[in-house]
Amino acid sequence: MRAVIVAAAVAFIISLLGTPVAIRVFTALKAGQPIRSIGLASNQGKKGTPTMGGVVFIVATVFAYVAGHIALTTLPERQIAQEGPTMTALVLLGLFVFCGAVGFFDDFLKVRQRNSDGLSAKGKLLGQAIVSAGFGIAALYVPSTNGQTVASEHISLIRDISWLDVGKVGAVMVIVFVITAMSNGVNLTDGLDGLATGASILVLGAYALIGFWQYRHWCADDAYGRVNDYCYQVRDPLEIAIIAAAAAAACVGFLWWNTSPARIFMGDVGALGLGGLIGGLAVVTRTTLLSIMIGGLFVIITTTWVIQIVSFRTTGRRVFRMVPLHHHFELAGWSEVNIVVRFWIVAGVCVAVGLGLFYSDFLAVIG
């Protein structure tokens, strides 16, 4: 627990103090957020607000992990700490950084061209697919000394589903889909001040709890795993908890400046990075299908976007006034703050249900 707290505290402080520095830097560089001319008139006032703020909480998370890992190596031997970073940490942080890099390139093009086009949809998807495939290959083909890999060849719900073995190639394809879908889900959600940031805090906090719970009931822990048959077959769960907690705390520090009226936007660098990390956390904790509930708000917003596109292209009719979904409610007369808070409530309910399902599985096994 000490390592998790240290990482969270360091991430929060770096993000809280680093974001105003980023605001001044990006303002000086004239890295303002372009706003679509066909968008809502109420959003035109946000034009020029500095973007790419996600760089701050990505950097904060990486530094916080280092601090947390240093604290981890001072724990007693039974805690199974190691000197260097684990493969789990490397693939998760790599996923966070490189998904963010795809978003950074998109943001850079928007700022340079002074429009909201940026990277093409195909280019963005290709970048996400390459990064997530690299993550999947490293997670499945690089085992630890005991032969355990970061990811599994099975589809998972709360644990691996034994009869859903899709093989390594199939598992990589599933991983690419999960990470790409979650990355785009967070990106679609990032349309109002603080909306995606607050929802991500809730989801990342849930994965910090899941990672720590798995660590406390870890099969690799000699004091627990050898005498219990309901332990969790995951790799480096405490490292997972450290990274998830650090990312959540870094987003809290960023939210101080990102809440309405936002002084800085996370940009695609932040949205794609956060979505990629959340998808990666689902894979490494063996909760791939459960992530549909835990990240329920992102799933809802993505699903409604798909419904709108399919309906318009097949029938010429729109189901919603505008997508993503939060803009539908803006056109319905809801204020921005009301939408954000209510969507946070939806995200919180989804997270609570997801954690409840996770814990109920544990109760069912030991019962």
Binding-site members are 187, 268
d(CA 101, CA 267): 11
Kindly give, in sequence order, each residue whose CB lies less than 8 Å from that of residue 74, ignoring residues fewer than 6 positions away: 81
Q: Which residues pair with 218 in a beta bridge?
A: 232
Q: Residue-wise over 264-302: b if at least 16 C-beta within 10 A, else e?
A: bbbbbbbbbbbbbbbbbbbbbbbbbebbbbbbbbbbbbb
- Distances, alpha carbon 303 to alpha carbons 98, 153, 181, 218, in Å: 25, 27, 10, 35
How far, in Å, CA of 250 to CA of 350, rounded? 22
Tokens 């950084």 map to which residue? Answer: 97
SS3 string of 167-223? Answer: HHHHHHHHHHHHHHHHHHHHHHHCCCCCHHHHHHHHHHHHHHHHHHHHHHCECCCCC
Q: Which residues partner with 160 through β-bridges?
A: 156
Tokens standing for residue 329: 């409610």
**Cα distance from N-terminal residue to C-terminal residue, the chain:** 27
Query: Residues forming the annotated binding site for Mg(2+)?
Result: 187, 268
244 burial class (0-12, 13-18, 19+ CB within 10 angstroms)? buried
Q: How far apart are CA 135 and CA 3, in angstroms?
A: 25
H-run or E-run covering 259: none
